[in-house]
Amino acid sequence: MFDVLIKNGKRMDGEKVEVAIKDGVILNVDTQIESSAKEVIDLAGAHYVSAGWIDDHVHCYEKMSLYYDYPDEIGVTKGVTTVIDAGTTGAENIGDFYELAKKVKTNVYALMNISKWGIVEQDELADLSKIQADLVKARIAELPQFVIGLKARMSKTVVGENGITPLELAKEIQQENDDLPLMIHIGSAPPELRDVLALLDEGDVLTHCFNGKPNGILDQETDQIKDFARAAYEKGIVFDIGHGTDSFNFHVAERALKEGIKATTISTDIYHRNRENGPVYDLATTMEKLRVLGYSWEEILEKVTVVPASCFHLEKKGRLAAGFDADITIFDVEDGEKVLTDSNGFTRVAKEVIKPVKTIIGGAIYDNEL
């Protein structure tokens, strides 16, 4: 007997799907499963089923004062089964973050900030003495199930007078720790984007990829994607949305799409203010923004499931398949107009909206806000 059996669901392409779960693991996925279960969820062909959504750039260490939120407010209640905190904490406070994260429903992982206290202040990389490689290595060894990567914010307000040096140190730390995934925030220069991208390797993550700043990927004079940004994309550097309060611009994303450059992963850079007041609100809204630009729902779902799971080596997540964790999002896609606003106040009108109905995490079932 299964613990949970999802009946009469449908994939994004309309194909019927049923899913059997036991002990927090998906045991079977097929068009029809004949068996008994302790709990049956009959979707009556009315709802879509996908692997659980993953938001790979959030800020959810609640004890911070600058950027913070609560994992379940941006996770399970929003159809998101897994969140990856992107550098809120460093080696000195990530242990406390882990203790808090163990108590919530949503799966929580962390990218450790290379600055030892994380984002306590906006300029966490202006003082190079806060970057202590030995301390970073020790915490990674202590929390291998929680720390899945590193984070460095490379923009003027963060690095102060240090230019590209913090990134050089981040790359050294990455190499000393089995080439853990590394996410790099970009913003205003210095350092110049060209210099940042020159140091990144295939698989490194460039977040805020479609920001509207002069130091972004779009040449604002020619209205073309900068040659070195295209070369970085073709090299295999991961282009992550990281929407945030100030880091997603519709026009930049549209120009990139016209030139064949798509976001690799879709994330929110959410924290309580841009969740409560916008323009982010939740992962579903960010997904809608990519849809209104012309991305298909199928590829959007890949960019919040299998792709981030692969980028951050979450081997049992991101797929609706036997042997994977029973993390599942059940959702609707409905016709209906919705005004969407980017980080610079520009708007587009969506003709479709996506709404999570139920979130399943480790086999536990939660109803979503409708």
What average pLDDT does the segment 313-319 reach? 98
> Strand 328-341 to strand 238-240: parallel, antiparallel, or no bridges (unpaired)?
unpaired
Query: Mind listing the pLDDT tens digit for each residue in 68-101?
Result: 999 999 999 999 999 999 999 999 999 999 999 9
Strand ranges inside 59-207, DSSP E? 80-86, 107-113, 147-154, 182-186, 205-207
- What pLDDT is attached to residue 369? 57
Name the percent of the chain lying above pLDDT 90. 99
Same fold, 2-50+322-333+353-367 and 52-312: no
Show Cβ contacts of residue 228 under 8 Å, excluding neighbours closer than 6 positions. 193, 194, 197, 198
Where are the domains positioned within the chain? 2-50+322-333+353-367, 52-312
pLDDT score of 48 more than 70? yes
- Cα 227 from chain centroid? 26
State pTM to two decimals: 0.97
Q: CATH classification of 2-50+322-333+353-367 is 2.30.40.10, yes or no?
A: yes
Query: Interhelix angle for 250-258 vs 283-293, to 10°?
Result: 50
Percent of the chain with pLDDT over 70: 99
- Cα-based distances in Å from 161 to 126, 190, 301, 356: 7, 9, 40, 45
Taking residues 328-334, report their average pLDDT: 98
Euclidean distance between CA atoms 32 and 365, whole angstroms: 21
CATH of domain 52-312: 3.20.20.140
Mean pLDDT of the chain: 97
> Any binding-site annotation on 185?
yes
Q: Which two tokens stand for residue 146?
A: 């929680």
CA atoms of 183 and 277, how far apart (whole Å): 26
Over residues 29-48, mean pLDDT = 96
What's the pLDDT tens digit per position in 253-299? 999 999 999 999 999 999 999 999 999 999 999 999 999 999 999 99
Q: Is 342 annotated as a binding residue?
A: no
pLDDT surpasses 70 at 201: yes
DSSP letters for 284-348: HHHHHHHHHHT--HHHHHHTTTHHHHHHTT-TTSS--STTSB--EEEEEEEEEEEEEE-TTS-EE
Could you read off the pLDDT of 100-131 as tens digits, one per residue?
Answer: 999 999 999 999 999 999 999 999 999 999 99
325 annotated binding-site participant: no
Partners of 183 in the β-ladder: 151, 205
Question: Rounded distance, CA 345 to CA 134, Å?
Answer: 43
Q: Is 57 annotated as a binding residue?
A: yes
